[in-house]
Amino acid sequence: MKNALAARARARGALMVKLCVDSPALDVDAATLWRARTTSLFMTCERAVFGDLERSVVLYERCRHDENRARCVIRTKLDAKLPYMVRRALGVKSSRDAVVMYDDVTLEETQSTAPYLFEASSRTYGTFLNPENSVLKGTVLCKSVDDGSMLSVRLECAVKMTGIGSAIERTIVSGMKTKFALYPKVIELYKAKLRENEAKRRERDEERAAKASIDACADACEFHSARDSDSERDDVAPSLADDRVADAKKGDATSPIATGCCVPASRRRSRSSNSNSNAAPVKRIP
């Protein structure tokens, strides 16, 4: 009799389901995990492991009066199979119709409640769940365990839909437990993605350094070649001048200096030739 009454009360939403779900020990420290949970890379890994269609942060803002607290709204498009009774009550035709959920999270960015313990409060609503027909709220904890960490959630769930409320609650609880059990795979994939991104970053840095070295070498080669050509011109010019002076001293008519004299060659006469031309002609005695 009591079980029947409890089932009816839960169907009407008079009772609230309370549970606590813990993840297995995770191979990452609590501070790193807490910072990573709201990054796009970590959410990509969650989506790949959980099988969600989409998962992203649509709002992130800091509290005005407390810089340590921030509000984060996470949008998740689930690829979930809705039970037949739920689909019939909600008017959903296919079991593969996507359900969109929003997690409105108020989190502490740094530890404050205890050493190596981070805490966030969340309220969830979605396509068919709203504050008028459901209550889905909880507290998410991230705490240190030995050399790693652990995620925990304390959840309160009540769906006020006659006939299908308990079925939706069971679906939510089952999905929560399944996802928390898969978090070790999420961490493993996240670390692999970090190593891959780090390798790509090092490769880009090496390419930039090699390109910079090649450009510096090319500039140095151009500088030295320009200096060598200038020195060659300086060495050649004096030798040509010396050759021209030597040719002129030899009296070479083809020499550039000899032919370039300011006095024409036809008018060059010696002093002896001028004196002979002015003298009287010499008579020859037979």
The total number of structural domains in the chain stands at 1
Distance CA 55, CA 45 (A): 10
The CA-atom distances, in angstroms, between 126 and each of 78, 121, 134, 176, 204 are 10, 17, 10, 15, 42
In a domain, 61, yes or no: yes
User: Which pLDDT value is given to residue 33?
Assistant: 92
Q: What is the pTM of this model?
A: 0.65
The CA-atom distances, in angstroms, between 3 and each of 119, 173, 266 are 35, 20, 143
In a domain, 184, yes or no: yes
Residues whose CB is less than 8 angstroms from the CB of residue 15 and which lie 6 or more positions away in sequence, other chains included:
6, 9, 158
CATH (domain of 158): 3.30.530.20
User: Which pLDDT value is given to residue 2?
Assistant: 46
Report whether 7 contacts 141 (CB < 8 A): no
In a domain, 151, yes or no: yes
Determine the structural domain holding residue 89 and report its residue range. Answer: 2-200
In a domain, 231, yes or no: no
The CA-atom distances, in angstroms, between 140 and each of 19, 51, 107, 154 are 12, 21, 9, 7
In a domain, 273, yes or no: no
In a domain, 256, yes or no: no
Mean pLDDT by 10 residues, the chain (286 residues): 51 68 92 90 94 90 83 86 70 67 86 74 83 85 89 89 80 88 95 93 88 78 61 54 53 48 50 49 49
240 phi/psi in degrees, rounded to 5? -65, -40
Ranges of beta strands (E only) in 44-203 are 54-62, 69-78, 99-108, 117-126, 134-145, 148-159
Give the angle 146-151-156 at the CA atoms, nearest 5°.
Answer: 145
User: Which pLDDT value is given to residue 286?
Assistant: 45
Q: Extract the tokens encoding 22.
A: 């813990």
Residues whose CB is less than 8 angstroms from the CB of residue 66 and which lie 6 or more positions away in sequence, other chains included:
none
In a domain, 285, yes or no: no
In a domain, 166, yes or no: yes
